[in-house]
């Protein structure tokens, strides 16, 4: 790993960032830890937001490792750059990805700027991804070795300057190996469960979060094709393409379940169909993406690549065709299910992350 002036480790209070700090310390780097205070459940959202416990856990890890630790208040920036993006997207019928935006705008955006202002040359996180620095100084990002935990997808909107200032110390580890290192080092987070909530908000269900901030706007549930009214929904923002559960209408007499195949904002209609290959709007052979971001040089000519349509999905073969308006057409060899507008599409050349964009 290339030396840096000083490395700021974003300690979340979880085991992954704890081991990231541990490894950097053992490698002899000059490091300090910081907890990003992004949200304190100030509006009494239903759900568990354990920020105080996370700060305490992060502080205990820093003390054990023997590094400086502080809390950095980024609440205003987080609300402006992530929460507003999230709520605005859902209000417009999209399915945004706050985790990807948090990485671009907060961890390697606002926190990176704060780190530079305070004498740090890089920001390290506990992402399962590998950063490779080439001889010419350019950096590449590879998937994490642990394919069950690989988080390169969430870094798809980082650019080259951000990547140069990023460090991912645990990308070469499998999760069981990482926990073993934490146990051997006596870290307080060694057995702590992984967070399943919204990025740095905590164990808050998205449904509860949206209920608190996006006004409900009831509308019809229509069967795609014949437009038969099957029921009423409380708001399009509660649904996403491909959703099976929680629609509020029963299966048919043969036990076939309905699935969301579209959200029609002009008449506020939720479109559903039976969950099968021929369901209208459920499977796509191609999709357009915009807001393209590249970890290296932009791709300006049609080519064969691989893409990840959502986190945890395998990479799939695609043809990538740039358009004159700055968007791109992505064509799939095999049709892909439930590609929701507003979600992130990540581009790869094998294990190497090239960049990503947003579904139109």
pLDDT in tens, 321-359: 999 999 999 999 999 999 999 999 999 999 999 999 999
**Domain 7-208 falls under CATH 3.40.50.620:** yes
pLDDT attached to residue 203: 58
User: Which of 115-124, 247-256, 319-328 is predicted with the least confidence, judged by mean pLDDT?
Assistant: 247-256
Q: Is 275 helix (H, G, I), strand (E, B) or coil?
A: coil
Q: Where are the domains of the chain?
A: 7-208, 215-274, 283-359
pLDDT at position 253: 62
Domain boundaries 283-359, corresponding CATH code? 2.40.30.10
Residue 278, pLDDT above cutoff 90:
no
Torsion 75-76-78-84 (CA) sign: positive
Q: What is the mean predicted confidence (pLDDT) over 129-143?
A: 96
Is residue 38 predicted with pLDDT exceeding 90? no
Helices (H), ranges, the chain:
15-26, 51-65, 75-78, 84-91, 98-101, 111-117, 160-164, 175-184, 206-213
The pLDDT of residue 237 is above 90: yes
Active site residue 303: no
Query: Can you tell me the distance from the alpha carbon of 222 to that of 214, in angstroms, rounded to the nearest whole number?
Result: 22
Active site residue 139: no
Predicted confidence band of residue 152 (pLDDT cuts 50, 70, 90): very high
CATH number of 215-274: 2.30.30.280
């Amino acid at each position: 790993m290339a030396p840096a002036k000083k490395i700021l480790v974003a300690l979340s209070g979880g085991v992954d960032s704890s081991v990231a700090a541990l490894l950097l310390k053992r490698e002899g780097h000059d490091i300090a830890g910081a907890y990003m205070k992004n949200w304190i459940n100030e509006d009494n959202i239903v759900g568990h937001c354990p920020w105080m416990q996370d700060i305490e856990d992060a502080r205990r890890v820093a003390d054990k490792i023997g590094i400086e630790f502080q809390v950095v208040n980024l609440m205003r920036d987080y609300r402006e750059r992530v929460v507003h993006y999230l709520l605005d997207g859902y209000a417009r019928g999209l399915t945004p990805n706050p985790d990807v935006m948090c990485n671009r705008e907060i961890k390697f955006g606002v926190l990176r700027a704060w780190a530079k202002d305070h004498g740090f040359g890089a920001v390290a996180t506990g992402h399962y991804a590998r950063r490779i620095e080439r001889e010419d100084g350019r950096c590449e990002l590879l998937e994490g070795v642990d394919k069950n935990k690989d988080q390169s997808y969430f870094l798809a909107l980082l650019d080259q300057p951000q990547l140069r200032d990023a460090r991912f110390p645990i990308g070469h580890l499998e999760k069981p190996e990482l926990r073993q290192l934490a146990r051997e080092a006596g870290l307080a987070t060694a057995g702590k469960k992984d967070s399943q909530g919204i990025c740095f908000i905590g164990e808050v269900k998205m449904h509860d979060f949206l209920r608190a901030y996006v006004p409900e706007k009831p509308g019809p549930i229509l069967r795609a094709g014949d437009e038969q009214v099957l029921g009423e929904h409380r708001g399009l923002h509660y649904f996403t393409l491909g959703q099976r559960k929680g629609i509020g209408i029963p299966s048919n007499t043969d036990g076939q379940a309905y699935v969301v195949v579209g959200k029609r904002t002009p008449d506020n209609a939720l479109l559903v169909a039976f969950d099968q290959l021929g369901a209208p709007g459920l499977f796509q052979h191609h999709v357009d993406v915009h807001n393209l971001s590249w970890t290296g040089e932009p791709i300006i000519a049609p080519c064969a690549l691989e893409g990840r349509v959502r986190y945890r999905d395998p990479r799939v073969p695609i043809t990538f065709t740039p358009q004159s308006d700055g968007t791109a057409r992505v064509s799939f060899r095999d049709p892909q299910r439930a590609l929701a507008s507003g979600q992130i599409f990540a581009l790869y050349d094998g294990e190497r992350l090239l960049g990503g964009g947003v579904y139109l």
